[in-house]
Chain A
Amino acid sequence: DVKVTQSSRYLVKRTGEKVFLECVQDMDHENMFWYRQDPGLGLRLIYFSYDVKMKEKGDIPEGYSVSREKKERFSLILESASTNQTSMYLCASSPNSGIKETQYFGPGTRLLVL
């Protein structure tokens, strides 16, 4: 089974802190994604990566950056956390084997910024 893990299920940080959210997948997938989920808005794409050291902006990249130094690991960085970044963050991965391949999600990280 595909497994996507995220470093924390719950995280509490203070405004202005630098925050790292880590995601690891064990299925050698080329593509990895970071979404944030807010009530009434569904999931929105922050960044994604289709190869090591490659990244593309999603729909809401402002205030975030990402790093992909190894194929299995995709990190989301909040350079200076703000209260409007309180949210649920979901990581996902998918292979390059065509349109039918679904994305596999991690359990999510609930981030609270005080």
Chain B
Amino acid sequence: AQKITQTQPGMFVQEKEAVTLDCTYDTSDQSYGLFWYKQPSSGEMIFLIYQGSYDEQNATEGRYSLNFQKARKSANLVISASQLGDSAMYFCARDTGRRALTFGSGTRLQVQP
């Protein structure tokens, strides 16, 4: 199975600072997509950002940006100006080519005031 690795089980960040959540992936495909989801304590999965393997520019969505380094097979999520509401689990995922997603084990982010 093509694996997604998130090496940070937990992270702390001060409010208003930036934080980077790491994600590396296995793949032998040329074309693939990478996703980041946020899961607050309420449990719902919220889509944050998408990066296609052929996209020339790193994806950005508001305070979220994706630091995509294709040769290193990494797709790190950068959250700028952290807010208390950013405290949640964050999951990196990639498509499997069968319309489903493969997820990493997640990173729990806690934003401190």
Contacts and interface: CB of A to CB of B under 8 A. Distances in A.
Interface of A: 31, 33, 35, 40-45, 48, 50, 56, 58-59, 88, 90, 92, 94, 99-100, 102-108, 110
Interface in B23-62: 31-33, 35, 37, 42-45, 47, 50, 52
Nearest to B4: A42
Contacts of A103: 47, 101
Contact residues of A: prevailing secondary structure: strand
B9, B101, B104 interface centre (most CB from chain A within 10 Å): B101
Interface residues of B, number: 28
Contacts of B105: 40-42
A101 to B, nearest CB: 9
Interface of B: 1, 4, 6, 9, 31-33, 35, 37, 42-45, 47, 50, 52, 91, 93, 95, 98-106
Contacts of B42: 107
A106 B39 CA distance: 12
A75 to B, nearest CB: 18
Contacts of A105: 37, 44-45
Contacts of B102: 45
B106 A90 contact: no
A63 B35 CA distance: 29
Contacts of A102: 35, 47, 50
A100 B38 CA distance: 18
- Among the interface residues B44, B47, B91, which one has the most CB atoms of the partner chain A within 10 A? B44
